Each structure stands twice: as structure tokens, then as C-alpha cells.
Structure 1
């Protein structure tokens, strides 16, 4: 995501960091490139114009020009203004007031509204709330069935009255049902259309009046660029939405929608969809996104991903095994799977400060390597996984055949594991020496 824009912005700004002193012409030249990069990324023209104007006003001031590191100061300003362009800070869902809280989902067909509704239910469930999904799309064939399938996958009940009842009556009935059955959040999946029309808007307005929602979230597809911004504008004028969910942001190398929406409709982006899995919905943090676009990494999101993917109990167990050097190939596989649960490796690496596209040139992130390692380890007997040193040539040939790999792959894994254990032993010995107060420098001072 933002790949093209990120490259262009970083290239434009890198020309400023190498200079000991900046002139107004240097700043103007860099801002021309920044402006072109944003326009090519399909960012709204007015948003770009305001953005560049603000940066120029701040960058040409004496505070920057007379600074010892003027280039870095300009980058700091760009980071701050980029963050403000996208909303400034993350905004939470509003659950205040009455119970159940009502969230009305809106959007056009094809934006991923029903799937996003399920993803949001899973997120809300993780907040120790009891959500209820409501099937109020009675027009699209199989829409109710799709929501029921998604509800089953996230283990959230779905309220449905079939496709013969009006969506307004379904919505009202769902709230009564939620009150009687202890659900504190109602998420209503409304009908989408292929385009905005009067009947669609009138119906969703009626649902809004009948349910008095806490949130009216608009789901838009990042891949549609400025069309997504125009859709947001129309829905906001008719419904007064409270926030936006942008889907398919992981597939959008330009990023125009995410960078334009706040400036055009003055409504926050609350969540972004970053993949097809039902767990691939994240709170939108403008400051973190700005840092990633400028190649500064996103350490906070990386930590959050690690905390959600890595089991605390297994981490303690792993620490114990590392100390007493009883780490096996089963443990190795378990750790790889937990890393994989954090998402695609390229995404994880991009969150590390300094790890932009240019820093990763020549690095081959092969996701299939995980599959090969898993197949090899699972083709071993329990004894072989616990004592890989017993794996001789004939066993290696059997494992290669059973895993659909070759002898080179098996040898490579066993060698890597041997090196890993050797390294762990050194760390274990170092830790013991430090605890016993026997730490000695390997050189004299």
C-alpha cells in the first residue's frame, strides 16, 4: 500500500536532507515534486493544494532555515501535516448512551460491506462486548446467507427475518431482540447499490430515523480512488456519516482515497481493511500511517501485532526451553507459525524504521519457505523432531520424499536449526555467567 507515493515522497525529501543549508528555491523544488507525487497518487486537488501551502508556510520560516538540520526539520513538518491531512489521531467507536449501541453500515455494492461488517463484529467482540449482526439487505441475492456465513466464522449471532420484510422493520425488531437477549451492540448490514440513487438513500435515512444509531459507518473501496471520495461526499450529505472504513487498502499502491477523505468530507477514517482474513481489519492511526509512508516505520503497530499473535504462555515456555536448551524442531515450527500469524512478512518488515523499499532491495521475502519448512518438520517422526542429530542420510531422503521437497531443502533446514541451537547455547551460557557475577570481558581495558 502507498508503494508508489512512498517512493516518490522519500525521493523528493531526500534531496533536502543532504544539504547543509536550505534556500527557498530548494523548498519550492521539493514541494513541486511532493505535489506531483500526491496528484499522481490520485489525491484530491484541493487537499494537495492546501497541504503544500501549509508545508511551504512552515518550511520557509526562520526556525527551519536557520536550523542546523533544515532538511530533517522539513521532513518533520511533512510528517506532521501528512498526519493532520489524514485526521490527526485515531478515533474510537462511540458506544455511549443507550444500550444496545447501534452501528449502521452503509456503502455501495462491491466495496466489501458485508465482509467488513463481520470483521467489525469480531473487533467489537474483542472489546468484551456482545455484538449482534443484523441482515437488513433484502435485495441482493444471497446477501443474508453471506452474512450468516460470516457471522458463523466470527462466532457472532445473526438476526434475520428473511427477504420479505422491510429493512426498517427488520432493524427495529433487531433492537428489541437485542434488548431481550443481552446484546449490547447491534451492527446493521444495509443494502448497497451499484450506484447512488434516491430510493437507496431514502431507505437508509428511514433506518437511521428508526434506530437512532451511535455510528453510521461508510464502507468504501480504496482501489476506486477519487470515486471513493465522491461516494463519501454523497453519503455524508444525505446521511451525515460518523466515520469511514476503507477496504482493500493493502492492494492500493497509490493511496488517494485514504489521503483525501478527511479533507473532503471532514469525517474520520475509523478502520482500514488490509487483507481477506476476518482478522484483517485495523484501527486507522494517521500518525503511524504517515510514518510508514515516509519510510520511518511503525513500531507501535508492530508491537500490537506481536502481542495479538504471540501467545504469552507459549512465550514463557519458550524462554524456559531456551534457558535449559531443550528447544526442539516442534518449538521452532510453533514460533514460525506465530510470526506468520502477524501477517505477510513484507508488511511486518515495512514497519521497522528504515526498512523502506530501497533498503529491502535484493531481499527475497519468500512466503513459500514457511510452507516448505512446515512440510519438512511434519514429515519427521516425533523422535527426529526432538533429536534432529539422529537424522542420517536415509532418514533425510525419506523426509524429503514425504514432504515433497528435496535433499537440499532438508539439509538446509537442519543446518539452520543446528546454528540456531548453537547461538542459543552461547546466549544461555552468557546469561548464566551474568547471573553468577562471573562475566569477564574478552579483552583488557
Structure 2
């Protein structure tokens, strides 16, 4: 069975906590004494289309949907047709980067690639992308400047407004116009633990303290599909039932664009990529440089139902470090350390029609019948990563051994980048080191 098209970064859950660490800044007096509510939906998740769209339609409201362009059309995410249907309804389509990284951890060029190239893709798809949301609400001055450089009229963080149990002393709403349009502030993200009364309270606290702008940050809209960042369709429906008649008293629902305004600016491409084009295309191949325990230019990947643990090991083939993976329980799927699947400088460049030879040094133990294979992915022009091909299964070994060199089929039309890893599809332990990918045309 082929792996799914996308790999999830294992660090995402931890990074999501950054949304609760945004500094709380004193707010200026509100220029607008009415209360405006914006219903914002992050990530382009499929259940937003399935469950939130009908509720917006039935209440005569419009939302702002922040799209991760590199995840579009993948399992669990909206298709381009879904996004087009939202736009046709009158909903706003905004940007949320190509790959959803923490932008504060990237180089300035990679930040621009993530923000600018995402916006260019959305514009090329026919969407009016004028406003942006930072992944995890994480930004700094240089990231704000990049959002402006890429042509956005505003950019939204998460936090900075009084929320249940957090941000005491903060303001009760964002100002209209915002003091910093590239760091607009919000209550904390809506979670499964957020009650209907608390959702209402985010609006009434603004009404009772001079009005302003309340941007609600919503991720999943479902029953039981996410254990933290979700609201049930019934709770969202009840909230919209309560919110709709408040327009008579001056509390209105608007998209972010209706609040921020401004013209649609031209798209700006991110800086061109300049990774290696000959020799070993993998950067940091011996895993020596790392951020925490994750080697630079690599990510933890996999899918399915299994229990696993990663360790940065000093039992290395060359250099000081390797990566150890232990899968202790397995029902389905696999786990692997793969070269980073991003739109940036880490991913080896792919040229359509070229073939690529890959190998990885490894050692480990696993039961008979467990498959361990080289697995390759490629990046499309839209920034989406898709499964490409796999090599033959390799045997368990107690000594460092290189996988047999595996040469891929010709890269498909539209391929722009490569990713490779050694997948463990069952219980066992594997160490990997010294990743190698070469273009057979430029060895």
C-alpha cells in the first residue's frame, strides 16, 4: 500500500502551543464603537467545507478561510473546487503559507518563499488573496515585513485579546483600524473545551468595553475529529443563531477584507531556490546539524496507526550522530525520517524527465514480514508533495549497511523537488545516517 500523499510534521502539535504565548499588549482606545465579528477558519480543512459552509449559508454570513496551498487536494483538506465554491458563496480566501511552518524558525528568504509563493498560487488559481494568517500565530518583525512585501494588506496572529483563562490585562478586542495591520490580534483559538457561553463571551466582552474587532480563530468543525482545536457543528450553529440578531444592536459579521479594505496587490514571487544541482543533493546528509532532536533539512514522517519514538543517537555511521526510530506497536502505516518536504532551500531540486539514484545507510532489527523500503516523494508546481515510488525491501542487519542504490523512474512533468526516506512498516528499530540522492544526469 502506498503511503498517503502528505507527511505530517511531528512538531506541529508542540508548535501549536505558541498560539498561547503571544505577548499581550495594551490596546489603544477603539476608533469604532461598534463590534465587528470575523469568522476565520485556518488550514483549509475539509470538515470546514462540509460542516461550516452550510451553517454560514443558512445564516447569511461569510467567513475568511486561510488556505495552506501545499495541502490543497490532499486527504483531509479542501480541493481547489471546494475553495472555488466558498469564493463563489462570497467567502474570503486568504493565505496561510505553502507548508505551514513556524515562520520565525526560517531564514528571511525561506519566509518569503512560504508567504509569497503561497499567495502567487492562490492568485493564479483565481482567488483574491488580500489577507494572511501566520501559522501557529507565530511572527516577528521580519516575518511581518515579509507579509507586507508579498502583497498582503494584513496578517493575523493568534492571541492578545482577553480569553477564558488567559491574557488578563489584554484588550477586549482588536481596534478598527488595527494598530498594526500585520499583527492583528485575536482571542485564543476555539477548542473542544471552549463552551458556547465562552464563545458568546468573546463577543459580549467587546460590546461591553467600547466595541472593536473580534476575530474568532476556528480549525476543525466536527464531532470528535480533533482532540483539541475543534468546535462541533451544533455548537457553531447555536452560536451563529445567537450572533445573527445582534446586528440590530450594531454587532455585525464581516470578512477580514471587509474590515481591512485596500486594493488587491500584484503577486510577488519568493526568491529563487539555489540548492545543490550536482553531486549529493541532500543537505546535512550525515545528520550532524539539528534543531533540538530533528536534523536540519529533515522531518519526522509517517502515517497510520502505530506507536513510535525518535532519538538522536550517537551510534553513527559517520560523524557524531544518526537517527534512531523505534516502533513498538503497529496496526497500519509506517514511520520514517525524510528529507524536508517544504517549498524552501532544503528540498533537493527535481527536473522533469531526470532520474535520481538514492541510498541511505542503516542498521536495525524487525520481524520477518516487516517491510523496510526507500520511499520517494516529489513536489508539484503548486507546492503539494505526493508519493512517487519505492525501492525494494531491505533486510535487517546489526551492522551499518547501505541500501542498494535505487534509481527512480523519470521525474514526472511538473516535479520541482524530491524527498526520500527509509520507511519502517511494522514493529522494529532502525538507525539511519548518510542520506544520498544524485541526479543521474549530473552525478
TM-score between the two structures when normalised by the length of structure 2: 0.30
Greater percentage in helix: 1
Greater percentage in strand: 2
Larger radius of gyration: 1
TM-score between the two structures when normalised by the length of structure 1: 0.29
